[in-house]
Each structure stands twice: as structure tokens, then as C-alpha cells.
């Protein structure tokens, strides 16, 4: 780009050339005219690259001081003045093109960064927490229809440290005799029942868990799972009781303690203030076991119905 000082020197040289020769001014400036036209042509080409039209056409460069096509000087200006005006126009156009090119380059860099950030964010995906596992079955309540309801998983509560049993408790537990019969599996269940009946719920939970896991196909297993749920429920742990009641009911709905487990499942939901699931369990109990609902478990069924308001 020509500085103002350079343009002044250039103009002075052009003026001196005009004064020191007898040729016409237009003839002396013909070489400069050709150079300026070449510069203007190059600027036009650069403009077409920087400012393309959206429809495939190009914006024409707006260069002021275009020479007269007839090659005749403008009477209001001299040849030197015309050269200076056209040089100013060229410099302004070049400066504008340079600035626009820098803006376009910066915009492209920013756009590339945003695309890269979006791609990195999408590939990472969403992660979920690790599943919570336990010794019991999955706690999914039965429903009267095939529709399922998704409920948020509560944050696990810290398990309090279990205090060591006292000497007196150990001695009292040792007083519970373990049966010794020809059916060793039945003896394991009966021992768990005796611990539960004596109010030693943690010991009963441990014993009955060992029994149901070691003998999943024994005829007493339906009794063991149901009683294990009751040992947790009586110990004030409905969250631990519910999975065992549900598993025992779903394992075989015709087992001896399947109806008991479904009714106790409703009772567990009442203890957990889950009225909706309590009502579902009660309705399914009445539909699947009408004779038992009006017979052996009638009192417990009516008592649970009185604790909730079902639609």
C-alpha cells in the first residue's frame, strides 16, 4: 500500500515529467494509466473471490475514479489529481478486502471449534450410575396390566454399622435348639422359623437366607422365602422385605405361600406409604385367590383394605 508521502513523491515526479517535456499530458501518463488499470483489474479479481454472490454470480467491485473510456482527461481535475484519487480508491479497496479476509478466517476458526465441541459432546453420551445390587431379588411390583411405570431410583442410604451381639444375646440364641431329623433341609428352615418366632430377627434373616439359597427347589422353599420377608418386615425393614415377597409370589403362584406373600407385599407397600402399589397388590390378591381372601386370610386382607383408599 502506498503511503501519503510516497503518493506525493509520485505525483511530484509526474508533474515534473509533464513540465519538462513538450508531449501532451495524456501521452506522458499512458504508462501510469496502464499500471493503474492493471491494479484495478487485480482488485476486481480479488473482490470476486472474497465476495461471491449466493446465486453463483459475483458482486462488482466498487472502485471510484474509473478512467474516462474515451481517454480524455476530466476537465475539472488534472492528470496527477486523477491518479491520486484512483490510488486512494485502490488502497481503500485493498484494505477492505484484507479486513474482510481476516474476518472470514476468524469466523471459520470459531465455527470449526464449535463443530469439534459438539462432536466431542455427542460422542461422550450420557452415563448413568452403577446399578445397585443386593442379596434379594429385584424390587419390581406386580401390576394388574401389562403397562409399566418408571420410577426414579432413590439414592442408597448408608448402611449403619451392625453392633456386635452381647454375651446375653448370644447365650439366648444358643438356647434355640436346631432340629435333627432325616430331612436336613427342613431342619434348616425349622431352625430359622424358631429364631424368627423367638424374636431374633437378624439371626432368622441370616439362617433363612442360607436355607433358600442352598435349597431353591425344596418343598419348604416357598415357606422360607415368605418367612424371610416377614423377618425383615417385623424387623422394620420393608425395603428388604418387599423383594422376597415378590419373588416368592412370582416363582410359582400356586405354591403354598404364594398368596401369603402377595398379601404381605401389599402390607409392605402400606408400610412404605406406597398406596398405589398396595392397591394393585390387594386387587391382584382378590382376583387370583378369592377363596383364600374370604377364608384363611380374610382377616388380614380386610385389615389391609381398611388402611388404604383404593379407586
State residue 52 phi and psi, 5-degree precision: -70, 145
Q: Are 271 and 233 in contact (CB under 8 A)?
A: yes
- Residue 311 is given by DSSP the state -
CB contact set of 279 (below 8 Å; sequence gap of 6+): 266, 308, 310, 311
- Residue 23 is given by DSSP the state S
Return the pLDDT at 103. 73
| Longest pairwise C-alpha distance within the chain | 141
Distance CA 226, CA 259 (A): 10
Q: Bridge-partner residues for 58, per DSSP? A: 52
Task: For the chain, give the number of residues.
Answer: 311
Q: Give the predicted TM-score (pTM) of the model.
A: 0.51
pLDDT band at 139 (very low <50, low <70, confident <90, very high): very low
Q: What is the pLDDT of residues 266-282, one digit of tens each?
A: 999 999 999 999 999 99
C-alpha cell of residue 234? 417385623
More confident residue, 306 or 126: 306
What is the pLDDT of the chain when averaged over all its residues? 75
Q: Report the pLDDT averaged over residues 96-118.
A: 73
Distance CA 252, CA 292 (A): 16
Distance CA 232, CA 226 (A): 10
Amino acid at each position: 500500500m502506498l503511503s501519503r508521502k510516497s503518493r506525493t513523491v509520485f505525483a511530484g515526479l509526474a508533474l515534473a515529467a509533464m513540465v519538462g517535456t513538450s508531449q501532451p499530458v495524456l501521452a506522458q501518463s499512458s504508462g501510469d494509466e496502464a499500471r493503474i488499470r492493471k491494479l484495478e483489474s487485480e482488485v476486481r479479481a480479488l473482490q470476486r473471490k472474497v465476495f461471491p454472490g449466493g446465486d453463483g454470480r459475483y458482486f462488482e467491485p466498487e472502485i471510484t475514479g474509473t478512467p474516462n473510456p474515451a481517454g480524455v482527461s476530466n476537465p475539472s481535475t488534472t492528470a496527477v489529481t486523477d491518479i491520486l484519487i484512483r490510488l486512494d480508491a485502490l488502497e481503500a479497496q485493498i484494505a477492505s478486502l484484507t479486513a474482510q479476509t481476516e474476518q472470514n478466517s476468524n469466523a471459520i476458526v470459531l465455527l470449526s471449534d464449535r463443530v469439534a465441541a459438539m462432536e466431542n459432546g455427542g460422542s461422550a453420551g450420557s452415563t448413568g450410575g452403577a446399578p445397585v445390587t443386593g442379596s434379594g431379588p429385584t424390587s419390581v411390583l406386580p401390576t394388574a396390566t401389562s403397562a409399566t411405570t418408571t420410577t426414579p431410583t432413590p439414592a442408597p442410604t448408608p448402611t449403619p454399622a451392625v453392633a456386635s451381639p452381647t454375651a446375653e444375646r448370644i447365650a439366648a440364641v444358643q438356647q434355640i435348639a436346631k432340629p435333627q431329623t432325616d430331612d436336613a433341609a427342613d431342619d434348616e428352615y425349622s431352625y430359622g422359623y424358631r429364631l424368627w418366632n423367638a424374636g431374633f430377627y437378624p439371626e432368622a434373616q441370616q439362617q433363612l437366607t442360607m436355607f433358600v439359597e442352598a435349597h431353591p427347589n425344596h418343598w419348604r422353599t416357598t415357606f422360607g422365602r415368605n418367612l424371610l420377608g416377614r423377618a425383615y418386615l417385623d424387623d422394620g425393614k420393608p425395603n428388604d422385605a418387599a423383594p422376597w415377597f415378590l419373588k416368592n409370589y412370582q416363582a410359582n403362584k400356586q405354591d403354598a405361600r404364594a398368596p401369603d406373600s402377595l398379601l404381605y407385599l401389599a402390607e409392605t407397600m402400606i408400610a412404605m406409604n406406597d398406596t398405589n402399589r398396595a392397591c394393585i397388590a390387594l386387587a391382584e390378591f382378590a382376583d387370583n385367590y378369592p377363596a383364600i381372601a374370604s377364608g384363611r386370610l380374610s382377616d388380614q386382607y380386610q385389615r389391609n383394605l381398611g388402611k388404604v383408599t383404593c379407586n
